[in-house]
Amino acid sequence: MHAAPSVAEIILTNADVVTMDDARPGADAIAIVGGRILAVGNAGDVRALANEATRVVDLGGKTVMPGFIDGHSHFFQVALVASSANVSAPPVGRVSTIAEIVTALKEFAAQHPLEPGAWLLGFGYDGSALRDGREATRDDLDAAFPDTPVLLVHVSAHGCLLNSAALKIVGINANTPTPEGGVIARRPGTTEPTGLVMETAWLHVLGFVPRPTPQQALASIAAAQASYAANGYTTAQDAPAIPPVMKLYETAAAQRLLSIDLVAYADAGGLAERISGGLRFPTVYSNRLKIGGVKLILDGSPQGKTAFFTQPYLTDGPNGEKDYRGAPVITAEELQRTVDLAYAHGAQVLAHCNGDGAIDMMLEAHRTAGAPAGRRTTIVHSQFVRRDQLDRYVEYGMVASFFTNHAYFWGDVHVKNLGKERAYFLSPMKTAGALGIRMSDHSDFFVTPLNPLFIAWTAVNRISRSGEIIGPEERVSAHAAFRALTIDAAYQYGEEERKGSIAAGKLADLVVLDRNPLKVDASQIKDVRVVQTFKEGRPVYPSELSGV
């Protein structure tokens, strides 16, 4: 046991403690005082720090790990999920056909009657998962909803499917030009839109999507925190946070409504004006809110076939394009201006890059900006990074935030669209770890579920929906998988000295699990359950401290 003598407020004992601290990998008791870990060690030594006021909690052999740290997700999208029909494929939803999409929408509309003129929203639309063998179209939705505007957010969160009523409202028709970096799917041989809109064309649609009232938005923050805490997260992320959402977070923090840490990354759009208006980087936590830096988006999604590659997809593009490589959603010039500006103001940059073409662009922008050391510039997703690009990550001290859930949800799709060589190197955690790259792993919620145990399962197993192992050589140990959800994720935020492992002096951010995920069979990691979550020693899921 290593700690200065004091008296513990709480002692967790009879526990299987996985510290993620190389200096002391395991223990069976933890003492907490003032929101920090006072001591970790054997039960006899730790219990010596108790007095009559100390709460001693017997965990009955359950496992304690550091609270999970969100490598990348979209915190505010909990509000969308709560107010939308679930049209996701299994296991997130129950939709496998276009007819089932319509059924899910009808059921939701019956349970949540709409006011006249209100939009019917759905989330999780994934044409690649439909047994029909094609994308759904406006015609499929129009038959059931001829007058109600319908918008189904694409599972990538980079686009949507609209019916005819919605297309009319947003002003997309046969005469609408496709914007640079965008996709408006058209009926073959015509310019008539089918209803599928992606990337920069989707940004236009977003301006028409109904927004929650301030009261609804604040309520959604409570719902989001509950979801993250129930999954064992003690630090959550929203990237990018557009200005109204950033202001909402500031209001929530001022009212002390945040029970877990939230790191928000400013949207890169209009960055210069907002910096002139007072936006500063980096900030320290204020009532659990921190502005972490700037989020850039360079390309789209591989499952939506809008990720930007240097070599073509093996299948045709969204409108039947041959030798299709996708396209960036930002010009090299605009990217460079934004990176230069962010670095000049001390901001950490999170760059969304799925395809290797987008990664090339970000590496070049970083090099041209002077490749500043110590910024921990993070390439979010890094899905189809090349081996030579990983060497440049090492050279530049970059962090990779991988997305191994793709191996399960879209591994089969990637093999079809990209071939085994590229698909099998998806989120190459094993290779990156061997090179010494610090990395996180993430859910990209709502693109995939928040569950960090499922994320770890995909990193260890890399099994697709069909049962194919997507890159056997890139499977990692359970310990490496959980490093990417704890201490290495803390490194991404520059917080490894205060979070991410269980050691004296660190924040008492902890999660209690029903089993030790490092000891169960690899196939069972996803079945481990969160029992309780502590933020700085205070239970946030459930909200009452019990014998657990």
513 phi and psi, to 5 degrees? -115, 155
| d(C-alpha 71, C-alpha 90), whole Å | 24
Task: Reduce the DSSP state of residue 292 to 3 states and report it.
Answer: strand
End-to-end Cα separation, the chain, in angstroms: 24
Beta bridge partners of 350: 295, 378
* Nearest alpha carbon to residue 66 among 443, 457, 482, 458: 482
Q: Where are the alpha helices (DSSP H) in 265-368?
A: 271-276, 332-344, 356-368
Q: Where are the alpha helices (DSSP H) in 231-283?
A: 243-254, 271-276
- Degrees to nearest 5, angle at CA 74 with 72 and 75: 110
**Would you give the distance in Å from CA 545 to the centre of its chain?**
29
Query: Quick one: tokens of 202?
Result: 């989707």
**Would you give the distance in Å from CA 314 to the centre of its chain?**
28
* Nearest alpha carbon to residue 293 among 375, 225, 233, 358: 375
| d(C-alpha 486, C-alpha 509), whole Å | 10
Task: Give the H/E segment covering residue 228.
Answer: helix 214-230
pLDDT at 545: 64
Q: How far is CA 535 from CA 139, 210, 236, 506, 530, in A?
A: 49, 34, 12, 12, 14
Report the 10 Å Cβ neighbour count for 107. 12
Look up the pTM and report it. 0.92
User: How many residues make up the chain in this entry?
Assistant: 548
pLDDT at 373: 86
Site of tokens 């240097």: 310
| In contact, 506 and 459? CB cutoff 8 Å | no
All domains of the chain in start order, with CATH: 1-67+500-548 (2.30.40.10), 84-206 (3.10.310.70), 215-499 (3.20.20.140)
pLDDT at 548: 47
Query: Quick one: tokens of 434?
Result: 């061997």
Q: How far is CA 328 from CA 51, 207, 336, 381, 391, in A?
A: 61, 21, 13, 15, 23
| d(C-alpha 232, C-alpha 149), whole Å | 37
Q: Which amino acid is at 195?
A: G
| In contact, 379 and 418? CB cutoff 8 Å | no
Q: How far is CA 316 from CA 94, 130, 184, in A?
A: 28, 18, 15
Tens digit of each residue's pLDDT, the chain (548 residues):
544 558 999 999 999 999 999 989 899 999 999 999 999 999 999 999 999 999 999 999 999 999 999 999 999 888 778 789 999 999 999 999 999 999 999 999 999 998 888 999 999 999 999 999 999 999 999 999 999 999 999 998 899 999 999 999 999 999 999 998 899 999 999 999 999 999 999 989 988 887 777 788 888 899 899 999 999 999 999 999 999 899 999 999 999 999 999 999 999 989 999 999 999 987 899 999 999 999 999 999 999 899 999 999 999 998 889 999 999 999 999 999 999 999 999 999 999 999 999 999 999 999 999 998 889 999 999 999 999 999 999 999 999 999 999 999 999 999 999 999 999 999 999 999 999 999 999 999 989 999 999 999 999 999 999 999 999 999 999 999 999 999 999 999 999 999 999 999 999 999 999 999 999 999 999 999 999 999 999 999 997 765 54
Burial of 44 (0-12, 13-18, 19+ CB in 10 A): exposed
pLDDT at 3: 46
